[in-house]
């Protein structure tokens, strides 16, 4: 009888990327796989595009906001409905285990799995856990961490320091193909600018202000978020995209340096590919501060330069890019000696060892 795994997680691309990396390994090893997410979240878009043949089930989601909102009154009921829906799905599917990447959609799935004594393994990408994972941790068999420092925030005896989980495909990018996609020439350096799955308005604005000056030294790939591509700025040497899927592997391969937010999955991919990076973490005013800690960790290890969003301007950004490019060889040396990540096939083996046979 074939084994079965349930994957859950969503709300942002970061809560889906690890799942998307691991699913092919389970399929390759003859597992049945299903995904539980929200009706309209980014996880639905990504999973249905990349894995159209695996069943996707959606459940009700409550956001569990940290701030006052009238929606907070409705959210507990949404969560309870989500638990009931997840319970029904798991009862029908009878999986061997649930792998949760986090995000609010994962909470009802983890609770429903615990009610049915289905083993749950959670993966935490950031140094400090998000609210959804904090709620789910007591119900997990094991918690896999990306950063060693995360263990101090977690229940003792449950943690496994696995490192970042990277898609095998990122190592197969073709630089020449990436430049062809963008219409770039061969011998001019390439600067990749990423604002995360939703883009980054302040980074976009600063880049546009200095675009003519940057184009004298670089060819630019700008992943600027949905609705943010400005057609009037498109010119030779500047390629703008709302969002990219499979093309990202070739675009990364073509890039010499990177400007990015500091989401855990992305920065470990840059590290694995030895791409010198200037990180502009999302401000604590707009987040729980996880990106600031991620960026600080990389900066202290000599793996990245950091520009705080409060200090971001056209001038500071241009200065940071110039300094990063001038020091790129020093970053290559340090990155080459740092290996705190796992390829998806290695992480698959870890998960199989962690899963206890269901009684």
pLDDT in tens, the chain (359 residues): 799 999 999 988 888 999 999 999 999 999 999 999 999 999 999 999 999 999 999 999 877 655 555 566 677 888 899 999 999 999 999 999 999 999 999 999 999 999 999 999 999 988 989 888 999 999 999 999 999 889 988 988 899 999 899 988 899 999 999 999 999 999 999 999 997 655 578 899 999 999 999 999 999 999 988 888 898 999 999 999 988 888 999 999 999 999 999 989 899 999 999 999 999 998 877 667 789 999 999 999 999 999 999 999 999 999 999 999 999 999 999 999 887 788 899 999 999 999 866 44
Indicate if 169-336 has the same CATH topology as 4-163+341-354: yes
DSSP state of 283: P
Residue that the structure tokens 């990202």 belong to: 248
If you compute the radius of gyration of the chain from its CA atoms, what whole number of angstroms results?
A: 21
Q: Is 304 helix (H, G, I), strand (E, B) or coil?
A: coil
Q: At what angle do helices 264-272 and 290-300 cross, to 10 degrees?
A: 20
pLDDT tens per residue across span 104-113: 999 999 999 9
The answer to whether 264 and 146 are in contact (CB under 8 A) is yes
Q: What are phi and psi of 52, to 5 degrees?
A: -65, -15
Fold topology of 169-336: Rossmann fold (3.40.50)
Out of 3.40.50.2000, 3.40.50.170, 1.20.120.610, 3.40.1280.30, select the CATH number for domain 4-163+341-354: 3.40.50.2000
Asked if residue 203 lies in contact with residue 314, where contact means CB atoms within 8 angstroms, the answer is no
User: Which residues lie below 8 Å from residue 248, measured CB to CB, with a gap of 6+?
Assistant: 170
CA 73 to chain centre: 30
Domain boundaries, the chain: 4-163+341-354, 169-336
C-beta neighbour count of 69 within 10 angstroms: 11
pLDDT for residue 1: 77
Over the stretch 197-232, which tens digit does the pLDDT of each residue have? 555 788 999 999 999 999 999 999 999 888 888 989
């Amino acid at each position: 009888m074939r084994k079965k795994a349930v994957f859950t997680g969503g709300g942002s691309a970061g809560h889906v990327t690890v799942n998307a990396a691991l699913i092919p390994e389970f399929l390759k090893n003859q597992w049945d796989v299903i995904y539980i997410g929200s009706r309209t979240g980014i996880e639905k878009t990504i999973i249905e595009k990349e894995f159209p043949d695996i069943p996707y089930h959606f459940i009700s989601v409550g956001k569990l906001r940290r701030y006052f909102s009238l929606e907070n009154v409705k959210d507990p009921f949404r969560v309870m409905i989500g638990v009931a829906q997840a319970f029904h799905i798991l009862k029908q599917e009878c999986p061997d285990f649930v792998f949760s990447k986090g995000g609010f959609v994962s909470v009802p799935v983890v609770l429903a799995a615990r009610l049915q004594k289905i083993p749950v393994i959670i993966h935490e990408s950031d140094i400090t856990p998000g609210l959804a994972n904090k709620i789910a941790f007591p119900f997990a068999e094991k918690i896999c961490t990306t950063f060693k420092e995360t263990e101090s925030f977690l229940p003792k005896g449950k943690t496994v320091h696995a490192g970042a989980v990277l898609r095998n495909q990122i190592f197969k990018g073709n630089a020449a193909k990436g430049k062809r996609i963008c219409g770039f020439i061969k011998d001019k350096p390439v600067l990749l600018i990423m604002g995360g799955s939703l883009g980054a308005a302040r980074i976009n604005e600063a880049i546009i202000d200095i675009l003519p000056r940057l184009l004298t030294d670089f060819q630019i790939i700008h992943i600027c978020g949905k609705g943010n591509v400005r057609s009037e700025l498109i010119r030779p040497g500047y390629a703008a995209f709302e969002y990219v899927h499979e093309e990202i592997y070739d675009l990364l391969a073509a890039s010499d340096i990177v400007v990015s937010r500091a989401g855990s999955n992305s920065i470990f991919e840059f590290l694995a590919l030895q791409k010198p990076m200037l990180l502009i973490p999302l401000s604590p005013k707009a987040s729980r501060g996880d990106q600031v800690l991620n960026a600080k960790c990389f900066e202290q290890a000599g793996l990245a330069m950091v520009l705080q969003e409060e200090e971001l301007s056209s001038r500071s950004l241009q200065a940071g890019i110039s300094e990063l490019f001038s020091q790129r060889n020093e970053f290559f040396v340090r990155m080459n000696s740092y290996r705190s990540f796992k390829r998806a096939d290695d992480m698959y083996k870890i998960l199989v060892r962690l899963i206890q046979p269901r009684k």
